[in-house]
Structure 1
């Protein structure tokens, strides 16, 4: 419990229009300073000053990633409850709040369009491009090892790309579904599955931030080199968990934190890797336990990237986001 002075300082930090608007936006998911300045139509120094006050009060947390920084609501249970309660008290029909949410939606749509344009351009050479940065053979061996000898009723591959995971694990599942938002990518994936004579896997055009009910319940969900294309990976995990059976598992493959800014500017990456602390926080909030972790450094040294593999299990104990479902 907070003392009087501490609580007053927290309330002072939240008790300003712009800072309340910031809390409302961050309750919808992590955002960068660039995103927030665009939505609020305020200068970067002004927005950063408000964010600093909220962070000092413990209401939000900051994650630095290269030249960018991302902010989200606090991981501290008491401060997080208070922040979300303040947001819940806001009238969502308030013109300023409604306009902020509309601007947020437009920012997200712009990011998706940027990513879609990139994937349309590289779809045909995607597997070769990915091999330039990733120790793919070792990672795929680890994925096979993680699945083991299990027979899966349903495998769900989110952000399936060229369908490589459906191809790799074809002998492990009765039915496989790959979901991707890029028409060019799914065209490649379908062609590859036909060429490999894999008839028990299907490709669906869809947004993995809005998983349809027909997608689950899955025994295993794969999210392979996908989360770094999203500002809020925690939201992806939270959505994906809804399509996972109780006791089901996720396998997440992504980069460890790095400082290669060109991947953001040239390859549409939104996050410069994911840390172990971030993954544990996002997983806990989504009702998942991190049950395994391995890393795979790039020994060639050309890009100095490390790939990580996390295994997550659905505990059925949905975390803090459940209050807003």
Structure 2
């Protein structure tokens, strides 16, 4: 009862209740919340700290930025949603806050679109070399179990496309990427799609910021060819999968297009089935029934794998991550 009263006390202030309502609509920084509320940054930061201490908000860092959103898990998460839902929809203060929030989201979207326009040629140039993305996406959907996917992870999410495709079937979906610019695009895309249960984080694919056994499914889509140590990426993805969890790896079959290495920073010119299967086995994954989608000149391969119960990744796979299986 004392904990409940302390949590209610943390929310029982006008500014803090406004912050809860705003953070229920997306991930926001201190500067964005300050802009919406029209209050000083130190004051807003103090309110945010109280809400985080009460486990009503989640805080996570992304480079030099800190983002806040309504708590997803824990004893206060459900209470946070109840409090937000209890705010009258016609409250004039909330209406103005949400109007300012929409202006910030539009600015985000415009900045993301501008970045994508400036760099889109790189993606279109590569996509023209292989089968249409829709064909790849349809194959991915067929390879995953029917119904609810549970908790989904997208490693190297980029613009968040895999979250858009698979997110509607997931209970919770998280995409990770090192590029802050790509994450800005992904956030705008997810907001436009209305996928509030899908989030993105800046993270290292060699050291995923999740406990072992956190996800039911994972996707590594067109990422391994950029990796210095592809086996370690697979090992880390396997670590965060639950027993029986499903991993889908999408990349190119071996090819000889050196321009992709010199002009598009590809570290590897495709992968043979045998090496992916070996790395999966070392990571405690059972890989079988590989799918090949021939293109001209690139063939896209999809390697489905399942996390075996009671199997840990070998030390060689996890050597560069420092992860514990």
The TM-score bracket by the shorter chain reads 0.5 to 0.7
| Correspondence for 2:156 | 159
How far apart in 1 are the matches of 2:119 and 2:213?
27
Is 1:314 aligned to 2:307, yes or no?
Answer: yes
- For residues 35-76 of structure 1, what are the alpha-carbon distances to aligned partners after superposition, in whole Å with 9 as ceiling and x for unaligned? xxxxxxxxxxxxxxxxxxxxxxxxxxxxxxxxxxxxxxxxxx
Report the TM-score, using the length of structure 2 for normalisation.
0.58
| 2:277 corresponds to which of 280, 300, 310 | 280
- Conserved 8 A contact 1:283-1:312: yes
Pairwise CA RMSD of aligned residues?
2.3
Shift, 1:215, TM fit: 8.4
- Conserved 8 A contact 2:252-2:299: yes
- Conserved 8 A contact 1:261-1:272: yes
| Correspondence for 2:166 | 169
- Conserved 8 A contact 1:257-1:272: yes
Unaligned runs of 5+ in 2: 1-114
Shift, 1:124, TM fit: 4.8
| Correspondence for 2:237 | 240
Range 211-220 or range 278-287, more displaced: 211-220
Q: Following superposition of structure 1 onto structure 2, how do residues 203-282 of structure 1 map, counting pairs within 5 Å? A: 203-213=200-210, 217-282=214-279
- Conserved 8 A contact 1:228-1:269: yes
Is 1:184 aligned to 2:181, yes or no?
Answer: yes
Q: Following superposition of structure 1 onto structure 2, how do residues 108-119 of structure 1 map, counting pairs within 5 Å? A: none
| Correspondence for 2:130 | 134
Indicate how the Cα distance of structure 1 residues 318 and 215 shifts in structure 2: closer, same or farther if over 3 A, else same.
Answer: closer
Indicate how the Cα distance of structure 1 residues 205 and 124 shifts in structure 2: closer, same or farther if over 3 A, else same.
Answer: farther
How far apart in 2 are the matches of 1:149 and 1:196?
22
Shift, 1:122, TM fit: 6.5
Range 129-138 or range 152-161, more displaced: 129-138
Larger Rg: 2
- SS of the aligned residue for 2:256 comes to coil
Report the TM-score, using the length of structure 1 for normalisation.
0.58
Q: Following superposition of structure 1 onto structure 2, how do residues 79-98 of structure 1 map, counting pairs within 5 Å? A: none
How far apart in 2 are the matches of 1:158 and 1:145?
19
Q: How many residues align?
A: 203
| 1:196 corresponds to which of 193, 214, 219 | 193
| Correspondence for 2:140 | 143
Indicate how the Cα distance of structure 1 residues 154 and 130 shifts in structure 2: closer, same or farther if over 3 A, else same.
Answer: farther
Range 315-324 or range 267-276, more displaced: 315-324
Indicate how the Cα distance of structure 1 residues 127 and 173 shifts in structure 2: closer, same or farther if over 3 A, else same.
Answer: farther
Runs of 4+ displaced beyond 4 Å: 119-127, 322-325
